[in-house]
């Protein structure tokens, strides 16, 4: 009887030892898993932070880039009225007037000239006032060509037999900004793409304030 009790004690003790070993090994394994997962999380977080920092740097660089050159085009922006235009880079800028209302830009061969200028709309002119004035001048100076008026802009073209004149004006409550191009009629085909580029890049700026 005593021997059987001792055997039972030995068996129970052995089972407890085995269970303790299993629990201990499992605990070690579980702790290692937690550490590994924690390390992986840190690596992912670190990688995400690096990627985010790289994106932020790229955005900052992009936002600080100067005005781009489009092929052989240069960029002019008027500091007073805020209008701007892109023009052939080999054209020459004239001397700006004292009131800084605009500029004449052209090549030096006299075949084409661009004048871009602004004025304050102190007498509340409308786009139709400016359009009719430009169209009347076209009839007085030569033969009118294409002309059109819209909500806040107008276009009038005419020829005097030697030169073709292209006028595009934007009219707002505060200011009126105008692009005027004069070029040899004999070079109409040669300058067609240039005229389209100048007209397309003309940005009128803020027309609602007085400058």
pLDDT tens digits, 127-161: 999 999 999 999 999 999 999 999 999 999 999 99
pLDDT at 72: 87
Give every CB contact of residue 128 below 8 A, 6+ residues apart in sequence: 149
Residue 82, pLDDT > 90, answer yes
**From CA 198, how far away is CA 90, in angstroms rounded?**
14
Residue 49, pLDDT > 70, answer no
The model's pLDDT over 91-121, given as tens digits with 9 standing for 90+, comes to 999 999 999 999 999 999 999 999 999 999 9
In CATH, which of 1.10.287.180, 3.40.1000.10, 3.30.930.10, 3.40.50.2300 is domain 73-201?
Answer: 3.40.1000.10
Confidence at 124, pLDDT banded by 50, 70, 90: very high
Confidence at 31, pLDDT banded by 50, 70, 90: very low
pLDDT at 190: 96
pLDDT at 192: 96
More confident residue, 29 or 106: 106
Helix (H) or strand (E) holding 191: helix 188-201
* CB-CB contact of 147 with 128 (8 Å): no
Measured CA to CA in angstroms, residue 105 lies from 35, 36, 85, 115, 129 at distances of 70, 69, 11, 6, 27
Q: Tokens representing 200?
A: 């397309």
pTM for this entry: 0.67
Rg of the chain in Å (alpha carbons): 39
Q: Is 183 left (phi over 0), alpha (psi -120 to 50) or beta?
A: beta
The model's pLDDT over 153-189, given as tens digits with 9 standing for 90+, comes to 999 999 999 999 999 999 999 999 999 999 999 999 9
């Amino acid at each position: 009887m005593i021997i059987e009790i001792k055997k039972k004690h030995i068996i129970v003790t052995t089972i407890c030892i085995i269970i303790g070993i299993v629990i201990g090994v499992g605990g070690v394994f579980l702790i290692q898993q937690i550490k590994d997962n924690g390390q992986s999380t840190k690596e992912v977080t670190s990688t995400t932070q690096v990627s985010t920092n790289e994106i932020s740097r790229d955005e900052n660089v992009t936002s600080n880039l100067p005005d781009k050159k489009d092929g052989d085009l240069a960029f002019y922006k008027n500091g007073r009225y805020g209008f701007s235009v892109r023009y052939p880079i080999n054209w020459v800028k004239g001397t700006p007037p004292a009131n800084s209302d605009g500029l004449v830009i052209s090549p030096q061969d006299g075949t084409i000239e661009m004048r871009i200028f602004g004025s304050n709309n102190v007498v509340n002119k409308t786009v139709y006032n400016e359009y009719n004035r430009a169209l009347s001048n076209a009839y007085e100076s030569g033969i009118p060509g294409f002309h059109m008026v819209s909500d806040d802009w107008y276009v009038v073209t005419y020829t005097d037999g030697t030169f073709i004149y292209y006028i595009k004006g934007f009219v707002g409550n505060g200011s009126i900004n105008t692009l005027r191009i004069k070029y040899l009629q004999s070079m109409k085909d040669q300058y067609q793409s240039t005229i389209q580029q100048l007209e397309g890049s003309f940005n009128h700026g803020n027309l609602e304030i007085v400058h």
